């Protein structure tokens, strides 16, 4: 196994060298190698160490999964997803066929198509989690940015709200969750609910935990507008709204975006914890179910989820960065 990693490593070097030789200038090639080499080396070293260390850790479910087990299981999960999809398609097709037959006999008949009742796959859970985190994050943003502007503009409001922020900011999602669950169950009563209760619980928990960085950064950004620019605004006699729109907000945009990026990171972390604890659909539930399942593959499958969670978190941050670069004037 060690030799395999070594061969793959030297293969990478060859590949890099070949690629470099096709580039026009040697300086360019050196630049590319320098930019790629260190991250690639870091990942390879990590994989090797992981590979070596994993078998040493024995658990009741067998040895801790190494990179190869995880790779295998990710393929397995994709396979399961495709099979499940195929079954679901068949199930729907069967219903449609049957409905068509019923309608042919009796055009007045009330027919409907029921969704496939099978368990959601790993990839379904990813989609669910992404939807929940975005909803929670958007709600947090919708609360935090306007509130942050008010706090930043007014010293008195700031003094009144700041202690509350300081107290609620460090609260763990696990503490909020039971309260949110109870409140959602008690207040969201509907015969034909638009949202699942579990979705609302996860979403509100994400909102409660992730709005603080945006709130704080927005208020600091709004409060830190260059005094010269404030004087320009006064000399021009800008109205309150024009002042906020044309001077305060643009000036605070870089800070707001920094807050949003931190918030989105927290939102994603909190969501996984909330889903695990609340058993609401999503990646967290996948992890918890696998843990409860306790088969010999469970640890590998959880590790696949861990890596997927990490990659998605990284991707979300990259997307925010791209948005920031498009919107913020200082980028």
- The residue ranges that bind other proteins (CB under 8 A) are 226-229, 231-232, 234-238, 242, 246-247, 250-251, 253, 329-330
**Residue (217 or 298) nearer to other proteins, CB:** 217
Nearest approach, Cβ of residue 227 and other proteins (Å): 4
**Residue (191 or 228) nearer to other proteins, CB:** 228
Q: Is the dihedral of CA 127, 132, 138, 144 positive or negative?
A: negative
Nearest approach, Cβ of residue 221 and other proteins (Å): 13
**Residue (140 or 253) nearer to other proteins, CB:** 253
Q: Report helix, strand or coil for 279.
A: coil
Nearest approach, Cβ of residue 251 and other proteins (Å): 7
**Residue (254 or 265) nearer to other proteins, CB:** 254
Nearest approach, Cβ of residue 252 and other proteins (Å): 11
137 contacts: CB under 8 Å, gap ≥ 6 = 206, 207, 210, 263, 264, 267
Nearest approach, Cβ of residue 250 and other proteins (Å): 4
**Residue (202 or 217) nearer to other proteins, CB:** 217
- DSSP H stretches of helix in the chain: 2-22, 26-53, 67-105, 122-153, 155-168, 173-187, 197-223, 227-235, 240-242, 249-278, 283-293, 298-327
CA distance 271 to 266: 8
Nearest approach, Cβ of residue 325 and other proteins (Å): 14
Query: What are the DSSP calls for 116-148, one per residue?
Result: P-SPP-HHHHHHHHHHHHHHHHHHHHHHHHHHH
Helix crossing, 283-293 with 298-327: angle to 10°? 170
- The structure tokens listed for 17 are 């060298």
Nearest approach, Cβ of residue 214 and other proteins (Å): 20
Q: Which one-letter DSSP state was computed for residue 23?
A: S
Nearest approach, Cβ of residue 234 and other proteins (Å): 4
Q: Report helix, strand or coil for 63.
A: strand
**Residue (234 or 322) nearer to other proteins, CB:** 234
Q: Which of 155, 267, 141 is nearest to 203 (CA)?
A: 267
**Residue (179 or 327) nearer to other proteins, CB:** 327
Instruction: State phi, psi for 316 to the nearest 5 degrees.
Output: -60, -40
Q: Report helix, strand or coil for 261.
A: helix
**Residue (61 or 249) nearer to other proteins, CB:** 249
């Amino acid at each position: 196994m060690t030799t395999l990693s070594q061969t793959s490593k030297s293969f990478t070097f060859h590949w890099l060298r070949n690629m470099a030789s096709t580039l026009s200038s040697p300086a360019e090639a050196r630049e590319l190698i320098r930019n790629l080499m260190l991250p690639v080396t870091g990942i390879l070293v990590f994989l090797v160490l992981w590979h070596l260390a994993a078998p040493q850790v024995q658990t009741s479910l067998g040895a801790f999964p190494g990179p190869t087990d995880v790779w295998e299981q990710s393929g397995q999960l994709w396979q399961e997803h495709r099979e499940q999809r195929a079954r679901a398609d068949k199930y729907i097709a069967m219903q449609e066929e049957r409905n068509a037959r019923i309608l042919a006999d009796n055009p007045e008949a009330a027919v409907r198509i029921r969704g496939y009742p099978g368990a959601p796959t790993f990839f379904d859970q990813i989609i669910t989690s992404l939807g929940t985190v975005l909803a929670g994050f958007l709600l947090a943003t919708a609360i935090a940015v306007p509130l942050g502007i008010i706090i930043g503009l007014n010293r008195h409001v700031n003094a009144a709200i700041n202690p509350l922020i300081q107290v609620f900011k460090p609260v763990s999602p696990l503490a909020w969750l039971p309260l949110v669950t109870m409140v959602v169950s008690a207040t969201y009563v509907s015969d034909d609910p638009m949202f699942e209760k579990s979705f609302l619980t996860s979403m509100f928990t994400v909102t409660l935990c992730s709005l603080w960085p945006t709130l704080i950064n927005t208020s600091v950004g709004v409060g830190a507008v260059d005094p010269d620019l404030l004087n320009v605004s006064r000399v021009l006699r800008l109205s309150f709204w024009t002042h906020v729109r044309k001077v305060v907000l643009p000036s605070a945009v870089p800070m707001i975006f920094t807050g949003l990026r931190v918030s989105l990171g927290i939102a994603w972390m909190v969501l996984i914890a909330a889903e695990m604890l609340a058993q609401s659909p999503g990646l967290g539930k996948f992890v918890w179910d696998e843990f409860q399942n306790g088969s010999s593959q469970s640890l590998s499958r959880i590790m696949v989820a861990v890596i997927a969670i990490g990659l998605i978190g990284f991707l979300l941050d990259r997307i925010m960065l791209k948005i920031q670069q498009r919107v913020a004037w200082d980028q």
